[in-house]
Amino acid sequence: MSSRPSPTSSDEVPVLPATATTPEGAPAGRRPVTVPRSLAVLSELGWRFLVCVAALVVIVYGLWQLRLVLLPVFIAMLAATLLGPPAMWLRHRGVHRTVATFLVYVGGLTILAGVLWLIIPATIHEFDELGVQVGGGIDEVGDWLATGPFGLSETEVQDAIDELSNRVQDSAEDIASGVYTGALVAVQVLAGILITFVVTFFLVRDGDRIWDWAVRLAPHRRRETIHAAGEEGWRVLSAFVRGITIIATIDAVAIGLALWIIGVPLVMPLALLTFVLAFIPFIGAFTAGAAAALVALVSNGWVDAVLVIAAVTAIQQLEGDLLYPVIVGKTVELHPVAILVCVGAGGILGGIIGAFLAVPVAALVATVIPLVRREVALSHALDPPAQPDEPSEIVLP
Q: Would you give the distance in Å from CA 128 to the centre of its chain?
A: 30
Contact status, residue 87 vs residue 203, Cβ threshold 8 Å: no
d(CA 140, CA 194): 45
Question: Distance between CA atoms of 140 and 127, rounded to whole angstroms?
Answer: 20
In 10 A of CB 344, how many CB atoms? 15
State whether the Cα torsion 162-163-166-167 is positive or negative.
negative
Contacts of 281 (CB under 8 A, 6+ apart): 339, 340, 343, 359
CA distance 92 to 250: 31
Residues 100 and 90 sit within 8 Å (Cβ to Cβ): yes
* pLDDT score at 117: 83
Alpha-carbon span 161 to 345, nearest angstrom = 25
Task: Please report which residue ranges of the chain form alpha helices under DSSP H.
Answer: 37-65, 67-92, 97-123, 127-147, 154-176, 183-216, 223-262, 267-277, 283-300, 302-318, 324-327, 336-382
Distance CA 305, CA 310 (A): 9
Helical segments of 66-150, H only: 67-92, 97-123, 127-147
Find out whether 224 and 261 touch, Cβ atoms under 8 Å. no
Q: Which residues pair with 33 in a beta bridge?
A: 15
**Parts of the chain with a pLDDT under 50:** 1-10, 13, 15-23, 26, 171-181, 389-397
Q: Shortest CA distance to 298 belongs to which of 157, 152, 131, 50?
A: 131
Domain assignments of the chain as residue spans, ordered by start? 218-380
Residue 8 phi, psi (nearest 5): -75, 160
DSSP code per residue over 242-280: HHHHHHHHHHHHHHHHHHHHHT-S-HHHHHHHHHHHTTS
Give dist(CA 75, CA 199) in Å, integer: 9
Closest CA to 203 of 74, 28, 353: 74
Predicted local confidence at residue 1, as pLDDT:
46
Tell me the C-alpha distance between 3 and 196, whole Å: 78
**CA 161 → CA 69, 155, 169, 323, distances in Å?**
37, 10, 12, 36
Cα–Cα distance list, 169 to 74, 134, 143, 174, 345 (Å): 28, 15, 22, 9, 21
Do 342 and 359 form a contact (C-beta atoms < 8 A)? yes
